[in-house]
Amino acid sequence: MKKLHYSELWCSSPRYWGGLAALTFIILLGMAAAYYMEHSGHWVTGMSNQVVWGLPHVFAIFLIVAASGALNVASIGSVFGGPLYKPLGRFSGLLAIGLLAGGLVVLLLDLGRPERLIVAITHYNFKSIFAWNIILYTGFFTIVGIYLWAMIDRKAQKFYQVTGFAAFFWRLALTTGTGSIFGFLVAREAYDAAIMAPMFIIMSFSYGLAFFIITLMSAYWWASRELGSHRLEKLKNLLGVFVGAVLYFSLVYHLTNLYITQHHGIERFILLDGGVYTVMFWLGQITIGGIIPLFMLYSPAFSDNRFAIAIASVMVLIGGFVQIYVIVIGGQAFPMNLFPGKEVVSSSFFDGVVAAYTPSLAEGVLGLAGIAIAMTLVAVGARMLKVLPESLEDPEQGTA
Amino acid sequence: MSGNREQPKEIKRREFIGMTVLAAGAASVAPGILLTVAHATAEAEGASSEVRWGLLIDSNKCAESCNACVDACNRENGIDLLQRPQGQGDEMWDAQRPQWIRKVKLKDNQTGEVTNLPMMCQHCEFPPCVDVCPTAASFKRADGIVLVDRHTCIGCRYCMMACPYKARSFIHQNVEQQTLRSPRGKGCVESCNLCVHRIDAGATTTACQDACDKDGHQAILFGDLRDPESALSKALREKSSRQIRADLELNTGVRYTSL
Ligand code: SF4
Ligand code: SF4
C-alpha cells in the first residue's frame, strides 16, 4: 500500500470560488430571511402558538442529527480500526463540525430573541435537556476539534486514541440528547416512546453517512482526485445497512405505538388519514428515503455505478428530512387530547382539531442557509487543512 | 492531480485565509446581532410558600355564550392593545395572538351532555414548562404561581411544546402598546399569571373572577389551596373536582367541578 499523503483541497480557482460564491449567496439570502422574520416578528412565518416549531427546526434538527453521524467514519477508523476508513477520518471530523455549526446557526436565528444568546450561555437550568444540549454541542466542537488536530498533527498523535474514544461516546450522547428533547414532551402522543432516542442514533448514522458520501464524492470531483471504487463500495454497503436499520426502527416505533391503545390516534394520523403527513410518511420517508435507495445500493444493476450511489445518498437525505418533518411538525399538528371521553364542540384555540401549518418561504431559505453554512465550512476547511488524502485509490488486495 | 497545484501554495493559502476571515466578519455583522443586557428582575419577592394560589372552576355555572373572563383578562393584561398585523387572516390571528384564557365547549361522548369551561395555565405544582426551559425564565413562585421572566426568555418555545394544556402564547409581532402590569415583548412567551400584580398588591380575586361574578355566573373562584378555611378549600371539600389530565400527575392549581 502506498503511503498516504494528505493535502489541502486544491482545485482550479474558478471552480472553487464559483462554488463558494454560490454558497455564500445562499447564506446571505438566509441571513436576510432571518432578519426579516426577526424584524417583523414570527407572524410572517407559518408558525403559531399551535405549531411552535416550524421548518427551521426541521432543518436544524436534521443537520444536528446528521453531524453526529458524519463522525461515524472517523470512529470506525480509530475506535474499531478499519484501514479502509482511517484515511477518511479527518474529513469525517471536519464534516461533523460543519454540519453541527450549520444546524446551530439555524436554531439560533429562529429563536424569538436570538440576540439573547448571551442569556442562554449564562443562565442554565440544569433540569432542562435543552440546556444540557447546549453543553453537549459546545463539547462536541471542542472534542472533535482536538480529535481532528490529533489526526492531522504528528505532535498531537498521542491524543488520537483518547480523543477518538471521547468523540465516539460524546456524539452518542449528543444524539441521545437531541432525541430526548422530544422524550420530555409527556403530553404529546407522537413523542411518548422510549424508542425515540435509539431511533435518533440510527437516523444519525444514516443521514451522516449519506452527507459524507456526497461531500466526499463532490470534493474529489472538484479537485480531480482519485477515489477508489472499492472504498466507495464499502461506504455504500454501510449506508445500505443504516438505511435498512432506520426502516426497521420506524417499523418497531409504529408497531409499539399500535400496541398501546392510547396511541392509536396518532398512528392513524400518520399512517392513514393525516393528509400531507401521511403522504410524506409513505412517499417521502419510506419510499424515497428507504425502499428506493436500498434497491439502488444493493441491486447488482447499479453495483459499479457512482451516479447511482450519489443519487441514493441524496434520496436518503431527502427521506431523512421528511422523516424529521413528520416527527416535528406532524407531532405538533396532531391535537392533544385534553378531555378524554369528550368531544370538543368549539374552542377559540383549536382544541381537538389538527393544527394547520404552511411553511413560509423565509423559513425555507433560512434552513437552506444552514446547509450552505455547513458546506462552506467544509469547503473552506478542506482548503486550509490537510484533511483529504491526495489519492484514495483502493488499497491493494489483502491489506484491506 | 492537474497542474494547478504548482502555484506557490503558501501565498495563495494566506490570501485565501484573509479573504475568508473578511467574509466571515461581514456575514456575522449582517444579522444585526445586538446584545441586550438582561435587567435584574424583581421575581418572586415576598411570595410565600405558606400559600398556594389556585382556581376552582365550576363548569356547570360557566355560561355558553359568555366571554366575560376572556375579555377581562385581555383588558387586565393589555392583550387587547395588540394590533392585528395587516393582512393577517382570521384563522392565523387566532392561532398567533396571545390567549391566556380560552373558552372551550365540550360534549360528552356517552351522555351528550354539554359543558363549557375556561382553560388557562393550570399553574402546575410540577410544571413541565419550568422543567424544560433552558434559561430558567419559566419559573414557579413559592406561592405556586408559574411565570415567565421576560428578561431571560430567549423565545425557544420549548415550554410551549411541553405544556400539556396549550396554555402558552408566543408574541409573534411588534408590541406598540402595553401595560405596566403585564410587560410584553416580541419574541417572548407568556401565559396566565393569576393576576400576580393584583395578588401581590393584596387583592383577593383575579380579573376573570371579578368579571364572571359581575355577570352573575360565579363560575371562577380564586383562593389559597393551602388554607383549609379559604372559600376555595371549602368548596373543594364540598364538591368533587378534578384536574384536567390528572394522569400526568402535575398536581394542577386549577381545578374543575362538574366536568
Ligand atoms: S399549565 Fe402549562 S404553562 Fe401552566 S404551569 Fe402547567 S405546564 Fe406550565
Ligand atoms: S420560550 Fe422562554 S420561557 Fe419558554 S422555554 Fe424558552 S426561554 Fe423558557
Q: What is the pLDDT of residues A69-101, one digit of tens each?
A: 999 888 888 777 777 888 899 999 999 999 999
Q: Which of A37, A221, A348 has the highest number of chain B CBs within 10 A, making it the mutation to test binding with B?
A: A348
Task: Determine, for residues A129 and B128 on separate chains, whether the beta-carbon distance falls below 8 Å.
Answer: no
- CATH number of the domain that A122 lies in? 1.20.1630.10
Average of pLDDT values for A152-167?
87
pLDDT of residue B31: 35
User: Using one digit for the tens of pLDDT, what is the confidence trace for B27-75?
Assistant: 443 333 333 223 333 344 568 889 999 999 999 999 999 999 999 999 9
Evaluate if residue A127 carries a pLDDT over 80. Answer: yes
- Residue whose CA is at the smallest distance from ligand 1 atom 4: B121
* B134 within 8 A of A128, measured Cβ to Cβ: yes
pLDDT of residue B34: 30
Tell me the three cell numbers of residue A133: 444540549
Share the mean pLDDT of chain A: 90
Query: Which amino acid makes up residue A235?
Result: L
- Residue whose CA is at the smallest distance from ligand 2 atom 2: B153
In a domain, A352, yes or no: no
User: Using one digit for the tens of pLDDT, what is the confidence trace for A260-281?
Assistant: 887 888 899 999 888 999 999 9
Lowest mean pLDDT among A5-19, A86-100, A207-221, A306-320: A5-19
Q: Taking each helix axis from N to C terminus, what angle separates A55-70 and A160-183, rounded to the nearest 10 degrees? A: 150
Nearest ligand for residue A185 CA: 1
**B32–chain A nearest CA distance, Å:** 8
Comparing CB atoms, the residue among B33, B162, B172 nearest residue A42 is: B172
User: In 10 A of CB B211, how many CB atoms?
Assistant: 22
Of residues A225 and A100, more confidence is placed in: A100
SS3 state at A68: helix
Q: How confident is the model at residue A3 (pLDDT cuts 50, 70, 90)?
A: low
**A55–chain B nearest CA distance, Å:** 14
**DSSP label at residue A328:** I
Tell me the three cell numbers of residue A269: 394520523
**Separation CA B163–CA A363 (nearest Å):** 24
In a domain, A347, yes or no: no
**Separation CA A23–CA A296 (nearest Å):** 29
B25-44 exposure pattern, b = at least 16 Cβ within 10 A, e = fewer: eeeeeebeeeeeebeeeeeb
pLDDT of residue A299: 87
In a domain, A315, yes or no: yes
Tell me the three cell numbers of residue B150: 421576560
Of residues B252 and B21, more confidence is placed in: B252
In a domain, A282, yes or no: yes
pLDDT of residue A153: 86
ipTM topping 0.85? yes
Average of pLDDT values for A302-324?
93
Number of domains chain A contains: 1
Which residue, among A74, A79, A77, A70, has the nearest Cα to A162 in the 3D structure? A79
**Set of chain A residues whose Cβ sits within 8 Å of the Cβ of B65:** none
In a domain, A129, yes or no: yes
Write the burial class of residue A295 (CB in 10 Å: 0-12 exposed, 13-18 middle, 19+ buried).
middle
Q: How confident is the model at residue B25 (pLDDT cuts 50, 70, 90)?
A: very low
In a domain, A241, yes or no: yes
User: In 10 A of CB A337, how many CB atoms?
Assistant: 18
Mutate to test the pocket of ligand 2, among B43, B135, B151, B192 (most ligand atoms within 8 A of CB): B135
Non-local (6+) Cβ contacts of A93 within 8 A are A71, A74, A144, A147, A148, A151, A167, A387
Q: How many Å lie between the centroid of ligand 2 and the Cα of residue A34? A: 19
**Set of chain A residues whose Cβ sits within 8 Å of the Cβ of B96:** 42-43, 48-49
Domain carrying residue A43: 6-335+357-392
Average of pLDDT values for A334-340?
91
Task: Determine, for residues A124 and B135 on separate chains, whether the beta-carbon distance falls below 8 Å.
Answer: yes
Domains and CATH numbers, chain B: 2-45 (no CATH), 53-257 (3.30.70.20)
Average of pLDDT values for B93-114?
96
Evaluate if residue B9 carries a pLDDT over 60. Answer: no
**A244–chain B nearest CA distance, Å:** 31
Please report the number of interchain residue pairs, chain A to chain B, with beta-carbon separation below 8 angstroms.
Answer: 234
pLDDT of residue A211: 96
Q: Which residue has the cell 410551549?
A: B160
**Set of chain A residues whose Cβ sits within 8 Å of the Cβ of B188:** 112-113
In a domain, A1, yes or no: no
Contact B62 CB / ligand 1 (< 6 Å): no
User: Closest ligand 2 atom, CA of B138?
Assistant: 3
Q: Kindly report the CA angle at A86 between A85 and A89, in degrees rounded to 5?
A: 95
pLDDT of residue B20: 47
Whole-prediction pTM: 0.90
